[in-house]
Chain A
Amino acid sequence: MLRLIKIEFQKLWLNKVSLVLIFISFILPFTVLILSSIKINFFGFFTLELGELGIFNFPIIWHITTFFASYFKFFFAIVVVSMIGNEYSNKTLKQNLIDGLSKKEFILSKFYTIVFFSLCATVLIGAATFLIGMYYSSYTEATIIFREVEFLLAYFVKLVGFFSLCLFFGMLVKRSAFALAFLVVLYIVEWLIFWAAVYVSGTVETAFKIKGFLPLESMYNLINQPIQRIVMTKFPEKTDIMYDYAVHWYEIAIVLGWTALFVFLSFQLLKKRDL
């Protein structure tokens, strides 16, 4: 396993483009996080301090940081599709196999790298969230701090699932740009299925339940948008805006199911293909 990760890391580390993208995907969320946590004074007119809104309070901070940080996954998604696309365009995939890497090992080296990267991103976001929370949060008892730490797990699963999807698209179309386009197509297809479900079942609720089983929606469902929740804390008397933002075991199970399927299909594609 270590050998496979080392192989993939050498390929990524020495490629300037992927190196830059990896750094962006790590550093950008931090910059945003840190900028948003400092007090910004607009030339004495007014000061903007997001901390005062209570969004850096435990436990809601876990929800907010993981939600916004997950948008930066697109940078690493480019790395994932290009690490497949480049192997095809340089024909190094063929050479790797001839040199004695099995097709299974090839896919696993990509998947391990995805897991490793997701793990790093989760640990970093976890650490940063903890520190900022400790600084700003009004409550610092251990039970409150770690109450919604499952958002970190959801973040990790979401990243692994999304990158596995990218891996599969990369294997399917062999070209990085087309693979990214496929993500957009999938997004549209999921909405088409949603509207078809609305038409058939007649209720939006059932349609959302069906959409919840589709890859992109199931990943989104892991960490629902936190804005409504912030509003809820401000106006606790308005019960009509209540919604279910928690991380459920079945949401994780669906995404893990898709992940397993994408990795398996990638392997099958490679196995069937004549290079």
Chain B
Amino acid sequence: MEPILTINNLTKKFGYLTAVKNLSFTINKGNVYGILGPNGSGKSTTLGIVLNVVNKTHGDFHWFDGNTSTHDALKQVGAIIERPNFYPYMTAEQNLKLVCRIKGVDRSKIEEKLAVVGLLDRKDHKFRTYSLGMKQRLAIASALLNDPEILILDEPTNGLDPQGIHQIRQIIKDIAANGTTILLASHLLDEVEKVCSHVVVLRKGEKLYAGRVDEMINSHGFFELKSEKHQELIGLLELHSNIGKIKVEGELITAFLNEPMSASDFNKLMFDKGILLSHLVKRKESLEEQFLQLTDNQ
């Protein structure tokens, strides 16, 4: 796999506060990455360092194969950090022209990218007349101008209304479908779950996990069960070697698996033992549950 960004033992201190502690991870081409973490966990600082606006204290990072300077690499990167920052007195098109000049790309892309984010009919309006959702979409258009190798988005749906959130997510999904590598920083777990294949989990500047979303915790999933013979079922589950922890909430029994087991095998087993299930669902922990488990454990 082709690496796009490699971070080695990166540390950033703001006075006594350590915002990022010994962080290492690699971003490979073609995947959609999420950086997860509560507010103040060092997500934006990390992105700021690799984007050349925050100075690192220790460690190092390099873009692509390591032979490109950060300054040149950034011309192949599209990034939005926190809020959309543009010149309020310029129109959308003029702002994008300026970005073209900075990145050294042709202006022919402007119309195409404005169409991608649905702002073509507002291109001659001044930036200051835009709503927050439109500003954010313009920022995405601006980040896409150079057809970047990687798109970095920091909290892209922050402060938007549900419609705006939906629009931005749809745009991100479309871009990801074209094979662009995406790095998405967010504290919204369902957002990351919906679009990302890989995650880096941070807490207080330290890495808790980096890898595939579905391998985040060692889990084979769990069954949600209901039956007329409530007590008998609990008794059977306690004896079964594949079942670990059992949680009972009223009628609903949640049984966590130690070993992999399919729902149909389990159903057959219960039937053989004479227990008829009125409710059987096999699930994996949601990202939220996994995240809480991960952050609680350490």
Give the B-binding residues of A (Cβ under 8 A). 3, 6-7, 10-11, 14-16, 86, 90-92, 94-103, 271-275
Q: Is the CB of B89 within 8 A of A14?
A: yes
Residues of B in contact (CB 8 Å), total 30
- B55 close to chain A: CB less than 8 A: yes
12 pairs of residues in contact across A and B, judged by CB atoms under 8 Å: A10-B98, A90-B86, A91-B83, A94-B53, A94-B81, A95-B81, A97-B74, A98-B51, A100-B104, A274-B55, A275-B48, A275-B54
Give the A-binding residues of B (Cβ under 8 A). 14, 48, 51-55, 71-72, 74-75, 77, 79, 81, 83, 85-90, 94, 97-99, 101-104, 142
Q: Is the CB of B101 within 8 A of A274?
A: no
Q: Is the CB of B85 within 8 A of A94?
A: yes
Given the interface pairs A3-B101, A10-B101, A14-B90, the reply to whether A95 lies near B85 with Cβ below 8 Å is yes
The residue that A92 contacts in the complex, of B72, B74, B87, B101, with Cβ under 8 A, is B87
Q: Is the CB of A96 within 8 A of B54?
A: no
Whole-angstrom CA separation of A3 from B87 in the bound complex: 18
- Secondary structure class of chain A's binding surface, majority of residues: helix
Whole-angstrom CA separation of A246 from B85 in the bound complex: 49
Whole-angstrom CA separation of A161 from B87 in the bound complex: 28
Distance (Å) between the CB of A92 and the closest chain B CB? Answer: 5
Q: Is the CB of A11 within 8 A of B98?
A: yes
Q: Is the CB of B86 within 8 A of A10?
A: no
Given the interface pairs A92-B86, A98-B53, the reply to whether A3 lies near B94 with Cβ below 8 Å is no
Q: Is the CB of A90 within 8 A of B55?
A: no
Whole-angstrom CA separation of A15 from B90 in the bound complex: 8
Q: Is the CB of A15 within 8 A of B52?
A: no
The residue that A100 contacts in the complex, of B81, B85, B89, B103, with Cβ under 8 A, is B103
Given the interface pairs A97-B52, A274-B55, A275-B54, the reply to whether A14 lies near B87 with Cβ below 8 Å is yes
Given the interface pairs A7-B101, A90-B87, A92-B87, the reply to whether A272 lies near B53 with Cβ below 8 Å is no
Q: Is the CB of A274 within 8 A of B89?
A: no
Q: Is the CB of B101 within 8 A of A98?
A: no
- Minimum CB distance partner of A97 in chain B: B53
